[in-house]
Structure formats: structure tokens, C-alpha cells
Chains A and B, each alone.
Chain A
């Protein structure tokens, strides 16, 4: 039986990587991926605790998160393609038409 702490540490590492790359990266696709990474880190803690407490709610919640993430990915990728077609770039710092 793997101790819960292992799952939590892994989830924390994944979340930190996701958060850090969200802050650092400029490419929209990478940012998008780092958001997915953070979501999955959270998912991991959900299933870990669900397993630990022998309760099913956590797993159900994970399914919800995955459904929402899939929907979000579909919409988000569509937006990204639309932006790339109009702006010929994926650098978030250059997508600043509304600024100033």
C-alpha cells in the first residue's frame, strides 16, 4: 500500500510545475497545457483521498473535472486556432489589442 503522502507530494510537484510554467511561458498552447497539468494535480489528490477514505465522491468529482476540462480544451483550442489565424502568433505578450 503506497502511503498517501507520496500521492500528495507528487500532486504538489505537478501543481507547482503547472503554476510555474503558467507564469513563465509565453506560448498559449504551453499555458493551456500547464493549466491541464494543475487540474490533473488536483485530480490526483482527489482520487488519493477517495482511496484513502474508501469513499466514491472524490472519484466522481474527478470525472466532473475531466468532463469540464475536455469541454474547456475543445473551446480553448478553437480560440487558439482563431487567434493564430488572425494574429499569426501564439505569444501572449503580443496579443494585446485591448490594452491601452
Chain B
């Protein structure tokens, strides 16, 4: 594909956004759907073409297109530049491919919603910014996409803006991300100060050209970038927005808050691997954050009752995995998991959406059950997703997760074994909570008679009863289910008889990354580790099987009242802690300083002072305006006398 067509990939969804955003209100629904789907299908096709071009023998490792200067001040220049290498290609494939499938699904899921055109306009806007983000060749353009997807995320979380909780969740996501973006901005300033450029090629080339640069300011830049990535990818301590983001419509959760946007942080870290490789401290921080988040979120995920919240915490946990992979220098494994996760998590969210759709808006798993027969297609596709995420071979999740665990185990990092143990524990917990969800939703007694209207979604088809979703929703599910099954086969490690094609595919990008350890010697170890993690997943499954299939209810009675359960099910009171530690003092300071001192003191005070001064002067001068003709005449005579005095004697004063 000629490089000048690269522009089309982001521009087309933007056209869709403009069309639907301006005219959508007046267009029929079919036209809105047509526009939205067409302008995401063409980029997907373009990416497929691009993929074919770049896979061809002798194709360049990266192609780029550069505009005229965008910002040019003395000695510093940023262009609108797009570049595609193999890493970008994978991201583009995920974004446009999964994006298109979710657009298709949304056409069915949102069919009865108010603001249909608005939803698709926002989705197309998101696709535009996300493609800008992954195509960008400079930190600044990446930041444009970064902020843009944040905006689209905010708009879509708050899609049901009449609902307070949705509006607040949108604000929370936006504000928490601001903290991360602040770090990103500072990192960019440091980059400008030290390298005089924001272009990836230039910055990384000058890092490579100076092997003496180790740690120091590179660590500072890397840590600030990590702050940005932690915001976007919902890592500790900025993960709190993602579970609340589930207030948005389910396709949004699937597209933005599982498959694409939240992986932007991992993409960014992988993109900057040259920088991170020189900052071992920052890498260790990344790995620690990742491991802690993975474990922490999985713990919370085990006790949630809202089906979407379970998936949300699962997403946070899996993102932690990817962070962990990047932290131990296994960027390829991180991107691999990013890709497979995009498949199976999008699938899980969309299936959950299909379940919610079937139950007319019910999201509480305690009110579900026995849906296996009623919605068989959803059941089977979701089963594929559950098995894939639980890490059971040969589905996608197994290969990518195992790769991460293996890389953590053999990494030269002194905490490598600890990271591995945490990852393994998390894998077990993941398996447990996913099968818990599975059993609670599809097995056991039915509770579906009660039609609690919980969501906006409920109103439109309240009386339909439990029903399978239309084919426009099931088709994406089936495609994603197939991808969840076979998606991992591109990265089968050599120990299991594969070639790990993905690793080799990404090699040109990560060539300068940490040396890949000798593979032949560790096949036995890798197989052992794989066996251990499969066993862990199986244990998770059997625990779930025991407590939610064989003896349902026992675990609820056993732990329901304990303090530990209360602690976990209240999400460790992190929101309350943040509220107490940050928001309350901030609000108090705001009220005291900004409101009382600045607003009421300075701003209102100066207004009042001006008013009082005017009044005072007025009360003096209004005596001139007595309404008495003779006093006016007196002033007139006085003025005339003054003019004469100035004219006669003035020259002596002035000259």
C-alpha cells in the first residue's frame, strides 16, 4: 500500500463522525448505521492491504508519511507524521478489526436507544483518535490521539448523561486521566529539553547513539511516561476510573475500556522500549505496578456481582499482566497478550452485553442463571471467551499469558520469580472468577421472571422475555470467538512445537530490547511452567465448579459476613480512601483558598470596592447636579473664568 494512503485510515472515521455528528439527527437510522459502518470498514480493509504489503518479502520494516511542519519554532520542529512498523500494524489490526466488529454489534445492541446517531458519531470519533494514536510518529501527535480517545471515552461513558452515575463516571475517568496526562506532558517537556525533538525516530536514534546515557534523566522521563500510561491503562494508583466506566453502553466497554484505548499505555511503553531499556529502575516500577494491579484487581473481581464490573476488574488485572510483561523487558509478550486480550475481552464484554440484552437490562449476576438453553449462541461464544481468558490450552489466552509468566520467570530482574508467583496466583484467581461468572450466569436455577429495569436499555423491550440477540450482534460474537480460539496460535512458543511467529514479526521493532534468552536450553523449564499455570487455571475452575455448581450458596454463607469479604467487596475502600486523602482536602483547600480568598475575596471584593468607590465619588459630585439653574450658571461662569485664567496666565505655567 502506498504510504500516502495512510492518511485515509484516520480521516475516514473522522468523516463519518462529521457526517453523523452534524446530519445524523435528521438521517434515518439505517443511514446512520451505513455511514458509521462504511467509514470503519474501509480503514479495516486498508489495514488488511497494508498488512499484505508489509508482510511481502523485502518490504521495508516501516513506512512513513510526513507532512509539512506543524509546529516550527527556533530549532524545534514537529510534523504531522505517521509511521507504520510491525508494532503499529498489530495495533492497527486490533483497532480497526475489533473496532469494526463492535460497530456491527452496536448496530443491533443500540437499535432501540435514544441518541443513536450521537452514539455512532462518538464511536467514529474514537476510531479516528485511536488510529492517530497508533499511527503517530511523534510523542506530540501520539498525545493528540491520547487526549482524543480520552475525550471520546468521556463522551461515551456519559452517553446516558441524564443518569447521574453515568455523568459522574465520565467526569471521574476524565479527571483521573488528567493526572496521568500531566506526567506525559512533563515527560515531553523533558524530552524537548534533552533531545530537542519529539519525533520517535530522532529521540530513539539519539538514545541509541549515546550508549553512555543510563538512568538519570531517562529514568525521570520513563517514570513520567509510566504515570501517563498508568492513567490511560488503569493501573495502580489510577485504576479507579475503569470500573466506573462501565456506566457506558456495553459496546463502549468492549471497544474502549477493554480492547483498544486502555491498551494505549502498554503500546506507549512498548513503543518507547529504547528509552525504558536504559532506565532499569523505571522498568522495575512498571513490573511492580503491573504485578500489584493484576493481583489486586483480580481479588476485587472475585466478589463483584455486576457482570460488567467483574469484566472491568478482569480488564484491569489483565492490563496489569501486560504491564508486568513490559516491565520485565518482554515487550513482545506484552503486545501478544494485548492482542489476544483484545479478542477475548471484547468477546466477553459483547457476550455479556448480549446476556444483558436478553435479560432486558439486568446486570446483576445474582438475578441470572440457567441461561444456557435460552441463549445458546451467546452461551457458546462466551464459553470460548471464558476458557481463553482462564488460560486453558489451546485457546488464545493460554499462549500469551504463559509467555508473560515464562518471561517473568527467566528475566534477569531480581524480583522476576516474585513477579512470576504473583502472575500465577492471579492466573488462578482469573480462572476462578471467570468460571464463577460463567456458572452464575448460565447454570443453576433461573431467576429471570423478575424484570428489574436497571438500565436505560430496559425500557424499549421490557416485555420481550428472555430472547437470543439478533444476528447482527451474534455475528461479531462468533468471529471474536474464533479469534479467541486461534488468536494465540501465532505465538506458539518453540517449546510447544511452534515458531513464535509473533515474536519474530515484532523483532524489527524490539531488536534493541533486552537480549532474548537462549531458547533451546530452557524448553524443559518452559514446559514445566506451562504445566504449572494450566494446573493453576484448572484449580481455579474446580473451585468455581465446587462452589457455584455442586454446592451453590455454601461459599456465600461461609464468607459472606466476614470482615475480609466486606473489605474486598467494598473494593478495599480505595475510592473512599482517595476521597478522604485527596478529594476532601482538595475540596477544602478549594473552598478556602479559591472560593473564600480568591473568588469572594479578590474577585468579588474588587467588584465591591469599585462599586463603593464609584458611589462615594458620586455622592460628592452629585451635589453639582442640583437641578438649580443658577448653580449651573455659576459653574459655567467659574469654568469660563478658569478658561480665561489659563489662556491669559497659562503660558507662564506651561513654558
Residues of A within 8 A of B (CB): 19, 22-23, 92-93, 99
A-B contacts, 10 of them at CB < 8 A, read: A19-B637, A22-B630, A22-B633, A23-B630, A23-B633, A23-B637, A92-B629, A92-B630, A93-B628, A99-B627
Q: Measured between alpha carbons, how far is A92 from B633 in the docked complex, in Å? A: 14
Q: Measured between alpha carbons, how far is A93 from B631 in the docked complex, in Å? A: 12
In the A-B complex, list the 10 residue pairs whose CB atoms are closest, starting with the nearest: A23-B634, A99-B627, A19-B637, A23-B630, A23-B633, A22-B633, A23-B637, A92-B629, A92-B630, A22-B630
Q: Measured between alpha carbons, how far is A19 from B634 in the docked complex, in Å? A: 9
With a CB–CB cut-off of 8 A, which chain B residues contact A93?
A: 628
Residues of B within 8 A of A (CB): 627-630, 633-634, 637
Q: Which residue of A lies closest to B631 (CB)?
A: A23
With a CB–CB cut-off of 8 A, which chain A residues contact B628?
A: 93
With a CB–CB cut-off of 8 A, which chain A residues contact B633?
A: 22-23
With a CB–CB cut-off of 8 A, which chain A residues contact B630?
A: 22-23, 92
B626 to chain A, nearest CB (A): 10
- Give the interface SS of chain A, mostly helix, strand, loop or mixed: helix
How many residue pairs at the A-B interface have CB separations less than 8 Å? 11
Q: Measured between alpha carbons, how far is A48 from B336 in the docked complex, in Å? A: 111
With a CB–CB cut-off of 8 A, which chain A residues contact B629?
A: 92
With a CB–CB cut-off of 8 A, which chain B residues contact A99?
A: 627
A30 to chain B, nearest CB (A): 12
With a CB–CB cut-off of 8 A, which chain B residues contact A19?
A: 637
With a CB–CB cut-off of 8 A, which chain B residues contact A22?
A: 630, 633
Q: Which residue of A lies closest to B627 (CB)?
A: A99
Q: Measured between alpha carbons, how far is A60 from B634 in the docked complex, in Å? A: 31
With a CB–CB cut-off of 8 A, which chain A residues contact B627?
A: 99
Q: Measured between alpha carbons, how far is A22 from B628 in the docked complex, in Å? A: 13
Q: A23-B630, A92-B630 are in contact. List 9 more A-B contacts (CB 8 A).
A: A19-B637, A22-B630, A22-B633, A23-B633, A23-B634, A23-B637, A92-B629, A93-B628, A99-B627
With a CB–CB cut-off of 8 A, which chain A residues contact B637?
A: 19, 23
Q: Measured between alpha carbons, how far is A98 from B628 in the docked complex, in Å? A: 11
Q: Measured between alpha carbons, how far is A93 from B629 in the docked complex, in Å? A: 9
Q: Which residue of A lies closest to B640 (CB)?
A: A19
Q: Measured between alpha carbons, how far is A22 from B637 in the docked complex, in Å? A: 10
A45 to chain B, nearest CB (A): 14
Q: Measured between alpha carbons, how far is A23 from B634 in the docked complex, in Å? A: 6
Q: Measured between alpha carbons, how far is A99 from B627 in the docked complex, in Å? A: 7
With a CB–CB cut-off of 8 A, which chain A residues contact B634?
A: 23
Q: Which residue of A lies closest to B629 (CB)?
A: A92
Q: Which residue of A lies closest to B628 (CB)?
A: A93
Q: Which residue of B lies closest to A100 (CB)?
A: B627
A8 to chain B, nearest CB (A): 13
Q: Measured between alpha carbons, how far is A92 from B627 in the docked complex, in Å? A: 12
With a CB–CB cut-off of 8 A, which chain B residues contact A92?
A: 629-630
Q: Which residue of A lies closest to B637 (CB)?
A: A19
A7 to chain B, nearest CB (A): 18
B637 to chain A, nearest CB (A): 5
Q: Measured between alpha carbons, how far is A63 from B627 in the docked complex, in Å? A: 34
B611 to chain A, nearest CB (A): 26
A18 to chain B, nearest CB (A): 10
Q: Which residue of A lies closest to B626 (CB)?
A: A99
A93 to chain B, nearest CB (A): 8
Most buried by A among B627, B629, B630, B637: B630
B630 to chain A, nearest CB (A): 6
Q: Measured between alpha carbons, how far is A93 from B628 in the docked complex, in Å? A: 8
Q: Measured between alpha carbons, how far is A35 from B455 in the docked complex, in Å? A: 89
Q: Measured between alpha carbons, how far is A19 from B639 in the docked complex, in Å? A: 13
Q: Measured between alpha carbons, how far is A77 from B267 in the docked complex, in Å? A: 99
